[in-house]
Amino acid sequence: MFDAARAAVEGALAAGATYADARVMAGRTESMNAKNGMIEDLGQSESSGLGVRALIGSSWGFFASADLSDKGARSAGEQAADIAKASALVPGPATELAPGDKPAQAHWASECEEHPLDDVSLSEKGDLLVGVTEAMSRVNGVSLATASYAIWDTEKWFVSSEGHRISQRIIECGALLSSTAVGDSETQRRSYPGIRGQYGTSGWELVRRLDLPGNAQRIAEESVALLSAPQCPEETTDLILGAEQMALQIHESVGHAIELDRILGWEAAYAGTSWLEPDKMGSLRFGSDLMNVTADATLPGALGSFGYDDEGTPAKSVPIIDNGVWVGVLSGRDSAAQVGIPSGGCVRSDGWNRLPMVRMTNVGLLPGESSLNEMIAATETGVLMDTNRSWSIDDKRLNFQFGCEIGWEIKNGERGRMLRNPTYTGISPQFWGSMDMVGGADEWVFYGTPNCGKGQPTQVGHTGHPSVPCRFRNVRVGVRG
Amino acid sequence: MTAPTGNGDAAMALCEQVLELVGTRGEAVVRASAGQSSLTRFANSRIHQNVSEDTGGVSLQVTVAGGRTASASGNHTDQTGLTALVERALAAAVLRPEDPEWPGLAGPAPARGADHWDDETAGASARTRAEAVGQFVGAGDGLEAAGFCSTSWSEVALANSAGQRLAGRSTVASISGIQRAIGPDGKADGSGDWSSSRVRELDAAAAGRLAATRAVASTAAEDIGPGHYEVVLEPDCVSDMVQFLSFGFSGKAHAEGTSFAHPGEAQFDPAFSMWDDAADERSIGLNFDAEGTPSALLNLVKGGVTGDLAHDRRSAARAGVQSTGHATGSTAFGAFPMNVIVGEGGDSVDELISEVEHGLLVCGFWYTRILDPKTQVVTGLTRNGLFRIDEGKVGAAVRNLRFTQSYAAALGAGRVLGIGNDGRRVGRYWVPSLRLSDWNFTGGAQG
């Protein structure tokens, strides 16, 4: 496979590229979902191809093809260069690349105890989904009981005109169950372990640890109970977020805001920009002193982990927020060069046919010294919310309104009655600035988000979000239509 | 580089090859495609990302005794690859539990005429796209521009063991972007876009001028408080509404009780109608679904009354009706309308605005998310243009607002005060501007 990547790079250079790199990727996927004790869909796919990137002047040219022959790969490289040349009709300053480490010639593989495709039978996986959906369906009042899993096994071979020669194999999987109760005028849903499930760079052992069977009945009962629970009141109060909702909060209001391509305006028309400005990095207060965030692609098992990013930069841990002060960004070699920093090693593509771009790695909150129970005990009046249900945030990643599946009233330091349709809204720096309690290391979970959309054509990124429960003061909750 | 072969001839040959490999071991639906997709992206008034890919592959759904079904897909289309695909799908199918509700395959039936194809668009080059980008950027006269121009073509064929054979092809071209003007409190954005099956119809300069006009007008935006406002929603907003509403017209969602739609009930204003018609010349894409059923015309809302639901074979069998040809290929997702057209009115958007005493002109929505499919309550923000309307005239720009609003309720009886004659394609839908009596803005985007 290295030969095809090398031929593509040679083709691009011969056609005038000043820099070129190519990735051959081969992937297998499998997904299954069940509803009310029946398998609904079972799908498997295999795909392989080559994507080659050529830099000429101010623009990347990129071409992707499934033809891995020497002639096909060389032609793909030539076409990538020709596409880059056409960009000269609307030119800008020449694109520079931040100096990289010594080009690696290496292999890296994610940890996997039990290969989810090769070591676990379809029957066993199907029985798991059928069993948990049957168990949820038995709870009176449940209308829809669903469960699913997804598996990705991806191999990559990367070659650059600077001498990189890197192969990687990344195995990812995860699972989800959910229960929906349908009332006269609304629906209520509960999900486990979260709205999207839980995913990681791991074998099937991750799914076994989730213990879907052990959580099915509780989730089903909660979905039914929500239908008759009182509405979350509309008020300004103290808010405690569980770790799953915190993962979403980090992803949307920190992760996307610190993408350097957004900050530089490269995503302005679609995903948007950022409220952060490069000259304020190192001094701008993002949140309270308790806020410490890193983008760490080296965390074993987390969904945003890898050995090298898709332009050959070794995985690293990048400080993002240090005691509340914004200190770092997610970057690649082209974006990093614009602000004079080394690449953060955050450039990835979602397949052989997509241009690598800045993506989150594992953007997560470092644990503090509190716990969920301590937060509840320390709260006179407030609301506890968990498990994301809806998420909306503006194009600068400043104003957000998030809904959760479930809430509980907090009164005099105790968790009280269940609340339905809990929502909260805020402005990022004020919200993070109000964070006064952060959960400890024993509540630290590496949540995985397998569906982060960005770019044109759209790419689906796999990102990780280490997270703990947190408390925020004076937050507006209960917004309704 | 892949080149068009005609009306899916090469793709149909692949389908036949796969059916032969399956033989009598199962009942199969095979779908094969070929194409090319290219997109030229610009930001900070320069092209920065410029991509093209050969697309294509084969997908197989195979069912063995007892309705046990599995799907496999891939892009390895030589004999070895196709054999592996077939064996993988068959091996998976036999391991599944039996499915007593398996609805069988679609029988032979012709699709209604639709050929959303243009040779010039299929052959569009990177230079053609770059020239369009140049026109968009140039129309900004020094403003900062960002967006994309794309062209694509695809040929698709479908064949099944029940004798169904269908093929189709389509081309799509789009220009979409923003212009950014510097104002007292930062950059103000305006947007412009156009898409068509014919690249020649893209007026990139006009889209760029519209975006620039909006951006410049937005530089001195003022804050207004949250509350209920009369609004004129431009087509970008209406397309977003249609997307969320369309999920409610899924026969599966209706059967499961998660849809707002109640066929036969007057759930909308009498002035409002929308339908789904893949064969309409304003639509894009194919005129048959993932199961091989030709897509029927659906009257989703007629004169305010909720009408047809979209069905695949499974939801149709449960409902005791025929599939409407709107299968997505996923039992979990079910079927829903994908070529929706909202009926146009007789007024220009200026005439709609002229009838508003006090309200807001909204050019676009952003990051909309549904809170509950049954209530159709959606939260999101305005983006790329929000203006006061005072005494029938567009006035000062307003800083973006967050809304929390039921889309179905906003179109309810008495609330659609006007429908524009400015229909255009946004995404997969053909939509005009709407004047609505009440929209619930729940906060300012800046806090």
Q: What is the pTM of this model?
A: 0.95
Split at pLDDT 50, 70, 90, the class of B269 is: very high
pLDDT tens profile B244-264: 999 999 999 999 999 999 999
Residue B275 sits at the vertex; the CA angle it makes with B269 and B281, to the nearest 5 degrees, is 135
Q: What is the predicted pLDDT for the residue at B402?
A: 94
Q: What is the secondary structure of B230-272 as a DSSP string?
A: EEEE-HHHHHHHHHHHHHHTBHHHHHHT-----TTS--S-TT-
Residue with tokens 């004169």: B303
Q: What is the predicted pLDDT for the residue at A315?
A: 98
DSSP classification of residue A424: E
Q: What is the predicted pLDDT for the residue at B116?
A: 85
Distance (Å, whole) CA A244 – CA A195: 9
Residue A92 in contact with partner chain B when CB distance is under 8 A: yes
Q: What is the predicted pLDDT for the residue at B8?
A: 76
Split at pLDDT 50, 70, 90, the class of B6 is: low
Q: How many CB atoms lie within 10 A of CB B391?
A: 9
B85 closest CA partner among A443, A384, A330, A45: A45
Q: What is the predicted pLDDT for the residue at A445?
A: 97
pLDDT tens profile B345-376: 999 999 999 999 999 999 999 999 999 899 99
Q: Is the pLDDT of residue B285 over 80?
A: no
Q: What amino acid is encoded at B237 in this protein?
A: C
Q: What is the predicted pLDDT for the residue at B427?
A: 87
pLDDT tens profile B155-186: 999 999 999 999 999 999 999 999 999 987 78
Q: What is the predicted pLDDT for the residue at B185?
A: 75
Distance (Å, whole) CA A442 – CA A43: 37
Q: Which residues of A touch B71 (CB under 8 A)?
A: 41-44
Q: Is the pLDDT of residue B4 over 80?
A: no
Distance from CA of A440 to the nearest CA of B (A): 31
In this prediction, residues B392-400 reach a mean pLDDT of 96
Percentage of chain B lying above the pLDDT 90 cut? 88
Distance (Å, whole) CA B327 – CA B336: 7
Residue A65 in contact with partner chain B when CB distance is under 8 A: yes
Split at pLDDT 50, 70, 90, the class of B80 is: very high
Sheet holding B340-342, edge to edge: B305-306, B298-302, B274-276, B340-342, B429-431, B424-426
Q: Which residues of B touch A355 (CB under 8 A)?
A: 49, 51
Residues of chain A under the 70 pLDDT cut: none
Instruction: Tell the burial category of A283 from Cβ atoms under 10 Å away from its Cβ (0-12, 13-18, 19+).
Output: exposed
The two structure tokens encoding residue A340: 């004079």
Split at pLDDT 50, 70, 90, the class of B1 is: low
3 state DSSP class of B384: coil
Q: Answer positive or negative: Cα dihedral of A11, A22, B171, A271.
A: negative
The two structure tokens encoding residue A324: 């509340």
Distance from CA of B25 to the nearest CA of A (A): 18
Interface of A with B in 200-259 (CB under 8 A): none
Considering all CA atoms of chain A, what is the largest pairwise distance in Å, rounded to the nearest integer? 73
Q: What is the predicted pLDDT for the residue at A183?
A: 94
Q: What is the secondary structure of B187-225 as a DSSP string?
A: EEEEEEEEEES-GGG--HHHHHHHHHHHHHHTTT-B---
Q: Could you tell me which chain B residue has the CA closest to the CA of A27?
A: B74
Q: What is the predicted pLDDT for the residue at B61?
A: 97
Q: What is the predicted pLDDT for the residue at B443?
A: 86
Question: For B118, phi and psi rounded to 5 degrees?
Answer: -150, 120
pLDDT tens profile B190-225: 999 988 889 999 999 999 999 999 999 999 899 999
In this prediction, residues B421-436 reach a mean pLDDT of 95
The two structure tokens encoding residue A434: 């109000």
Q: Which residues of B touch A389 (CB under 8 A)?
A: 371
Distance from CA of A426 to the nearest CA of B (A): 7
Cβ A219 vs Cβ A136: under 8 Å: yes
Which of A87, A231, A474 to mutate to probe the B interface, most B CBs <10 Å?
A: A87
Q: What is the predicted pLDDT for the residue at A239?
A: 98
Distance from CA of B204 to the nearest CA of A (A): 14
Cβ A424 vs Cβ A401: under 8 Å: yes
3 state DSSP class of A295: strand
Percentage of chain B lying above the pLDDT 70 cut? 98
Distance (Å, whole) CA A136 – CA A150: 20
Q: What is the predicted pLDDT for the residue at B5?
A: 67
Percentage of chain A lying above the pLDDT 70 cut? 100
Higher pLDDT, B285 or B247: B247
Q: What amino acid is encoded at B339 in this protein?
A: N
A&B contacts, CB < 8 Å? 272
Distance (Å, whole) CA A261 – CA A124: 43
Q: What is the predicted pLDDT for the residue at B114?
A: 72
Q: What is the predicted pLDDT for the residue at A100?
A: 85
